[in-house]
Amino acid sequence: MRASFAVGGLLILSLALDGAAQAQSSCDAGVTKAVAKKVSAKLKVIARGQQKGQPPNAKKLAKAETKFADGCTKAKSKNDCQVQTSSCAALEATADAAIDVLSSGTTPTTTSSTTPPSTTSSTPVMTTFSTTTSTTSTTAMTTSSTTTTTTTTTSTTMPTDLNGTFASHVTTTGTVSVPLIGGKAANIDIVLRIFNSTSGGTVTSHLEFRRVNTATTDVSLVVNIPTSITALLVNDQTSPVQNLTVGGPVSLPSFNITVGQDAAGNSADTDHDGNPGVSIPTQLQGSNETMFSSLVIGLSFPSATLTDANTISGQLTVTTTGKVFGGTPLNLTGNLSVVTGTPTVAFTSTRLTGNVPCSQVLTMF
């Protein structure tokens, strides 16, 4: 019980600055609300699992992560934060550390130091708590009082690896350009699956785009790439084993995928249907159109943090270009591109144990 109150007090101290009066700020309010919802939601999911003697529901945990990322990013966009100046990733790491301790009943390991009687210490970091105890001894003539401050530190950083399946759902806005309609504002919906396995000192990462949907805001173009084509949107990369700790950075590989064209940019019948490029069904200005296209996709992760043992969050970049070699019933030709509205996009990736099939990953989002 003491550890629970300590973590709760720490979180309030770190995020609310001792409850002191603060300047009015939509950003501060939104960030604090997003953190509170995340902690509450994840603890409820964990509690249900404990009650049933089962692991926490991964889909619901991922939903809580996604809601936090969306809520924090939206609040930060107000640009009037006075106290919530930490990044969303740093705040998420602090919240997840508290969740780990609160849900697992972690027993603190203790180190002690003595300071002058008038001094108490409280450090608003991830998992450092301070308590003050007093002892009084009395004789017939005199009374002496000694106050000793003991700092108890619980570390939630733990060595871990990247093995298993990491699933991410990324939604953002941007611009899509194709022949006939040109560039249009669009909504972008992507599901990523990365399976990591370690052999010796090397991690092999297998990337799959499991969903790539794009629709212009005026609905002049709707593209839902079929599973027969997303099955081709795969790439493998290797990287050295990392010494990872919760709350610390993660280095993720960059991926590059090309389908429907060769190294020289000429059409290649990658889906083996007898047409140039790959065949992508679309709705173009209200009519069905199959575009014979190539896709060149780049995916990288400029920043990533291991927010808890089973979650990575940060910023990614994704770029898509290609060519339209023809189509039916229209014989369109030209270039295509999908560009996100911001250079980087927030993401949260949840680890699932083992090599989880794509069909199960898709049911999460």
Nearest residue to 288 (alpha-carbon basis) of 235, 342, 223: 223
Res 58 pLDDT > 80:
no
Nearest residue to 298 (alpha-carbon basis) of 255, 329, 337, 333: 255
Residue keyed to tokens 């401050």: 149
Per-residue pLDDT at 257:
97
Beta-carbon count within 10 A of 39 CB:
21
Q: State both tokens at 43.
A: 């603890």
- Overall average pLDDT of the 285-309 stretch: 96
The tens digit of pLDDT for each residue in 63-79 reads 887 888 888 888 888 88
Query: What is the sign of the dihedral through the CA atoms of 267, 271, 275 and 277?
Result: negative
Q: How confident is the model at residue 278 (pLDDT cuts 50, 70, 90)?
A: very high
Whether the Cβ atoms of residue 207 and residue 235 lie closer than 8 Å to each other: yes
The tens digit of pLDDT for each residue in 171-226 reads 999 999 999 999 999 999 999 999 999 999 999 999 999 999 999 999 999 999 99
Distance (Å, whole) CA 133 – CA 147: 6
Cis before 329? omega within 30: yes
Give the amino acid at 78: K
Q: When comparing pLDDT for 76 and 132, which is higher?
A: 76
Distance (Å, whole) CA 38 – CA 94: 11
Q: When comparing pLDDT for 51 and 275, which is higher?
A: 275
Residue keyed to tokens 């050295």: 240
Q: How confident is the model at residue 128 (pLDDT cuts 50, 70, 90)?
A: very low
- Overall average pLDDT of the 217-237 stretch: 95
pLDDT over 90, % of the chain: 56
Q: How confident is the model at residue 108 (pLDDT cuts 50, 70, 90)?
A: very low
For residues 208-233, b (16+ Cβ closer than 10 Å) or e, as one string?
bbbbbebbbeeebbebebeeebbebb
Per-residue pLDDT at 77:
83
Q: Which of 158-172, 179-193, 272-286, 290-304 has the least mean pLDDT?
A: 158-172
Q: Where are the beta strands (DSSP E) in the chain?
A: 109-110, 128-138, 143-153, 164-178, 182-199, 202-216, 221-224, 234-240, 255-259, 278-284, 287-293, 295-308, 311-328, 334-340, 345-352
For residues 120-154, b (16+ Cβ closer than 10 Å) or e, as one string?
eeeeeebbbbbeeeeeeeeeeeeeeeebebbbbeb
76: exposed, middle or buried (C-beta count within 10 Å: 0-12, 13-18, 19+)?
Answer: buried
Distance (Å, whole) CA 221 – CA 282: 7
Beta-carbon count within 10 A of 75 CB:
24
Q: Which of 37-41, 147-151, 334-338, 354-358 has the least mean pLDDT?
A: 147-151
Q: State both tokens at 275.
A: 């047409």
Nearest residue to 350 (alpha-carbon basis) of 42, 34, 40: 42
Per-residue pLDDT at 338:
97
80: exposed, middle or buried (C-beta count within 10 Å: 0-12, 13-18, 19+)?
Answer: middle
